Copies of this chain bind each other. A is one copy, B any other.
């Protein structure tokens, strides 16, 4: 029997329809073959990217030379450009803003074939530090309202290059999806006087059926109203509205939970394409009691089709409780294929 489940933050309904998994082509992981050839993100090819804006490299090592273990560079094909003031204007009844913003690439490691789930944990920490350092830096620019950090892994998830990298897009407006979460979390807080994410964490810890990994400071679970099979969220267990307020011990801990979660997904689903996104409170707001920063990880095993585009709802053919079982170490792998 299928059921509708409601995301407690945004109010978005999802249809959990396990019968649908029996359809032909229910899980389509047709991955394109790895491409050979020149990679501008590999060590030694620094001159093929715009000059770095941040690098973690030994003291005394030259900018834009090899020897780094993480680099951040402007995107060569930026979606937004930063050399202008923000200008809003009309076009008849329509509204527009010039494409002001910042678009950067975090080259996560010099190792072209690395995967977050198998990296040295220290290297995963470095990625988190880079996310945090760039957010802090971008917050200094008063034109910017939000910093969106995300990762596309493999072509099916929108990556145009294979070398492990994330992207940062900072913009002069607050994203719709974030605003929906802020509004929903505010409504819940107005009614319950508690953070909706904190309540979710309590219930997930008690239930246990959807928890993938847990450490002192972080928890990873598959959300009750998962839009996609194996969708996974990582949250700090203590309420915190800003990602960039993360502390040193927490970085170590997040790296551990993130690495473990990605290792489980990689092993169980044969290195699936995925996206991850970091959601935090907008730059110009103060700390607050209702919004809880978090990461969302979505493996790309199903296709978004007319129903999803038309409704904004999702049909998920695999319940998160079932998916969670397959993510346990030693579970029979790829049963979903």
Contact = CB atoms under 8 A, between A and B. Distances in A.
Interface of A: 1-6, 8, 10-13, 15-17, 19-20, 22-26, 28, 30, 32, 77-81, 91-99, 148-152, 155-161, 167, 169, 171, 173, 175-178, 180, 196, 199-200, 203, 206-207, 224-225, 275-279, 296, 298, 303-307, 309-313, 315
A296 B309 CA distance: 9
Candidate in A16, A96, A152 with the most chain B CB atoms within 10 angstroms = A96
14 contacts: A1-B99, A4-B173, A5-B96, A23-B160, A93-B200, A94-B203, A94-B224, A94-B225, A157-B306, A176-B313, A178-B310, A180-B312, A296-B309, A304-B304
Contacts of A96: 3-6
* Shortest beta-carbon contacts, A-B, top 7: A158-B305, A2-B99, A150-B306, A277-B310, A175-B311, A176-B312, A177-B312
A300 to B, nearest CB: 9
A151 B310 CA distance: 10
Given A306-B158, A312-B175, A30 B28 contact: no
Given A8-B93, A160-B24, A176-B13, A150 B1 contact: no
A96 B161 CA distance: 40
Given A150-B307, A310-B279, A79 B176 contact: no
Given A157-B303, A306-B276, A176 B94 contact: no
